[in-house]
Amino acid sequence: MTAQTEKKISGLRVWLLASRPKTLPAAISPVIIGTAMAFYDGRLHTVSALLAAVGALLIQIGTNFANDYFDFFKGVDDKNRLGPLRATQAGLVEPQKMKRAFIIVFLLAALAGGYLIYRGGWPVVIIGALSILSGIAYTGGPYPLGYNGLGDLFVLIFFGPVAVGGTYYVQALEINSIVLLAGAAPGLLSVAILTVNNLRDIYTDKNTGKKTLPVRFGENFARWEYLFCIILSCLIIIPLILQTRAHFLSLSVFIILLPAVRSIKIIFNIKPGIIFNKVLASTGQLLFIYSILFSIGWVL
């Protein structure tokens, strides 16, 4: 990156780009769903809902900063990178500054969770601690989850049932199987986002020894994984309706299949490359739209 380019991208904009805003729907969408379910059950607690949203966003941003830092040191990010700008690799942020940044953001997330711990007790401590540790372990530590094909499972669990269930719990102070099942949907759509990211980077990941699922099982596996996650996220609403005998308007989540068609066509028909960045953004939008449609349908 030239000095002129570095000059243009500076200050707050650098940190905004490093936070990877297109990934943030994965953090906020489960909170929306969990809050809607708490509201329907007459258990809405506004302060807890807001703090859960703040904590989720901070953990996601902290994870993105940590990924930026650890990927740089592991040599995964280089000049051939196709994905969004990585501030450390681009020379826009010094490694130690990025390290301090993700530590500070995670501490802020813990601070935001202080009241939630007071309200919800030890289950919130466990959820918060595991979420932060997993955010670091995704690319850091002796056995990085994202480097060994475990990233998909991590995302499914923590951006799905854990996030939705945790949001519901800090408001209702109880949990049930309906909430946890509903949480699988945003988890699956978050996996779809990760799949696009990993499929885009399949060639550079192979060269750097990063063993994501697309690297392990091939491009076609990743393509079908993407399609499976989107379709199954919509189908989950059916057993929820059958169990509750209510919330029929939540079937509106199937609407996301219409805008998903274009992304699915790109995934299946175009060789992995920079165009997948657009699919990454559109899949994040699908997740956010899903959370809104589900929540409105659940409440009405």
The per-residue pLDDT for range 131-159, each reduced to its tens digit, is 999 999 998 888 899 999 999 999 999 99
Q: Across the chain, what does the average pLDDT equal?
A: 92
Where is average pLDDT lowest: 3-17, 80-94, 269-283? 3-17
Where is average pLDDT lowest: 28-42, 91-105, 171-185, 246-260? 91-105
183 has a pLDDT exceeding 70: yes
The per-residue pLDDT for range 61-120, each reduced to its tens digit, is 999 999 999 988 876 655 555 666 678 887 889 999 999 999 999 999 999 999 999 999
Phi/psi zone of residue 247: left (φ > 0), alpha (ψ -120 to 50 degrees), beta? left
Secondary-structure class of domain 13-299 per CATH: mainly alpha
Asked whether 178 and 243 are in contact (CB, 8 A), the reply is yes
5 has a pLDDT exceeding 90: no
Q: Residue 82: what pLDDT?
A: 62
Q: Residue 6: what pLDDT?
A: 43
From CA 99, how far away is CA 103, in angstroms rounded? 6
Q: What CA–CA distances, in Å, run from 150 to 10, 97, 146, 222?
A: 34, 28, 6, 14
Residues comprising the chain, all counted: 300
Q: What CA–CA distances, in Å, run from 110 to 27, 35, 56?
A: 16, 20, 10
299 has a pLDDT exceeding 50: yes
Q: Residue 84: what pLDDT?
A: 67
**In the chain, alpha helices (H):** 3-8, 12-18, 25-40, 46-74, 95-112, 114-120, 122-137, 151-158, 161-172, 177-200, 202-208, 213-217, 219-235, 237-244, 257-269, 276-299
